[in-house]
């Protein structure tokens, strides 16, 4: 059971947060913030693969009740959906945001104000959705939010394609890591998001996240305070490589890793370009994937009823 304050408050008190902001800013001059390594000068108009400069670009922010139970609690997770992405999966279920660029460029002051608004609404955490390409913006806004009284845990809700150097900047900042582990097969990752190195990058990233925050811990009400929560979207015909992902989590991370084996796949975006992705996931496929997780030795599986289920 976790009761301590969010880790970034101590980092700020010790005067260590500004060095992280400065380091992230330096990275943007020849951007290697994510594994794409575009080398774009994002301070001077070059956008790189993520199509984002050095200002926050936000699609929406609001209390969210569709996340995992430990994040939602009774008052919701305070989600801030960032625009664009560093993966661009062709079947993305937020295609209009990630590929279409739905959103608005704002200031770091605005981003800090969003965090404080969500806290005022009673949310249990600040949940940064698709943050990998906007880490500098988050760090730059954080001292302003702290000055305004921010005291909620920070959730790094990522696609799992994260550079180790960037994650190390977030050590002492992020309380809850929530990565996807999307694909086990490099060829599948190459076909669906042009990132053949995704499986290896995700393995390294999840190990680093767990090193920083450990297994998921909750307060007396079952609300997450710190730790790792992994999502895995099951794809039709086993394309996500669920067995490999679950065995990796159980053997190389922890059998107590909290895992959401998600059964909500539906054809979105450009899914129609691939024969398998045109199909809906079946209930049987989802149940088989959950069984693979149990067989691997994972003991903490998310049990909520999913929003999308088909026969």
Q: What was the pLDDT predicted at 98?
A: 87
Q: What was the pLDDT predicted at 308?
A: 35
> Encoding tokens for residue 30?
């020849």
3-class SS letters over 261-277: EECCCCCCCCHHHCCCC
Q: For 277-294, write each residue's pLDDT tens digit.
A: 989 999 999 999 999 999
- Smallest CA-to-CA distance from 48 within 134, 148, 160, 158 is with 134
Answer whether residue 263 shows pLDDT above 80.
yes
Q: If residue 167 lies in a helix (H) or strand (E), which one and from where to where?
A: helix 164-169
pLDDT band for position 3 (50/70/90)?
low
pTM over 0.75: yes
Distance, CA of 294 to chain centre: 23
Q: Which residue has the tokens 């994260």?
A: 162
Answer whether residue 305 shows pLDDT above 60.
no
Cβ proximity of 117 and 61 under 8 Å? yes
Phi, psi of 247 (to 5 degrees): -65, -40
> Encoding tokens for residue 90?
């062709």
Q: What was the pLDDT predicted at 86?
A: 95
- Smallest CA-to-CA distance from 105 within 42, 147, 150, 170 is with 42
Cβ proximity of 263 and 286 under 8 Å? yes
For the chain, the helix, strand and coil percentages under 3-state DSSP, each to the nearest 5: 40, 15, 45
Q: Which residue has the tokens 């809850």?
A: 176
Q: What was the pLDDT predicted at 304?
A: 60
* Mean residue pLDDT across the chain: 94
pLDDT band for position 2 (50/70/90)?
low
> Encoding tokens for residue 256?
């107590």
**Top-level CATH class of 7-301?**
alpha beta
Q: What was the pLDDT predicted at 303?
A: 79
- The mean pLDDT value for 196-208 works out to 98
Q: Percent of the chain scored above 90 by pLDDT?
A: 87
125-139, 222-236, 274-288: least confident range: 274-288
> Encoding tokens for residue 195?
């990132």
């Amino acid at each position: 059971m976790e009761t301590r304050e969010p880790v970034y408050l101590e980092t700020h008190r010790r005067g260590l947060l500004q060095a992280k902001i400065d380091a992230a800013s330096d990275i943007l001059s020849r951007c290697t913030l994510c594994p794409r390594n575009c080398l774009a000068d994002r301070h001077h108009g070059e956008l790189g693969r993520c199509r984002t400069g050095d200002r926050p670009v936000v699609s929406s922010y609001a209390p969210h009740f569709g996340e995992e139970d430990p994040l939602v609690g009774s008052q919701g997770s305070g989600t801030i959906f960032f625009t664009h992405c560093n993966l661009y999966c062709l079947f993305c279920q937020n295609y209009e945001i990630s590929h279409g660029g739905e959103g608005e460029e704002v200031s770091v002051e605005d981003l800090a104000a969003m965090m404080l608004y969500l806290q005022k609404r009673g949310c249990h955490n600040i949940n940064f959705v698709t943050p990998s390409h906007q880490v500098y913006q988050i760090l730059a806004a954080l001292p302003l939010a702290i000055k305004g009284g921010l005291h909620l845990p920070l959730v790094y809700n990522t696609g799992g394609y994260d550079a180790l150097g960037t994650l190390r900047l977030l050590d002492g900042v992020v309380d809850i890591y929530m990565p996807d582990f999307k694909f086990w097969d490099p060829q599948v990752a190459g076909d669906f998001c042009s990132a053949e190195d995704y499986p290896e990058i995700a393995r390294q990233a999840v190990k680093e996240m767990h090193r920083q925050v450990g297994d998921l811990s909750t307060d007396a009400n079952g609300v997450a305070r710190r730790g790792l929560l992994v999502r895995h979207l099951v794809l039709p015909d086993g394309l996500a490589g669920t067995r490999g992902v679950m065995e990796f989590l159980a053997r190389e991370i922890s059998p107590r890793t909290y895992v959401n084996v998600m059964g909500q796949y539906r054809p979105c975006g450009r899914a129609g370009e691939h024969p398998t992705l045109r199909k809906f996931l079946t209930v049987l496929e989802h149940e088989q994937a959950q069984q693979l997780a149990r067989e691997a030795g994972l003991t903490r599986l998310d049990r909520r009823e999913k929003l999308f289920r088909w026969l």
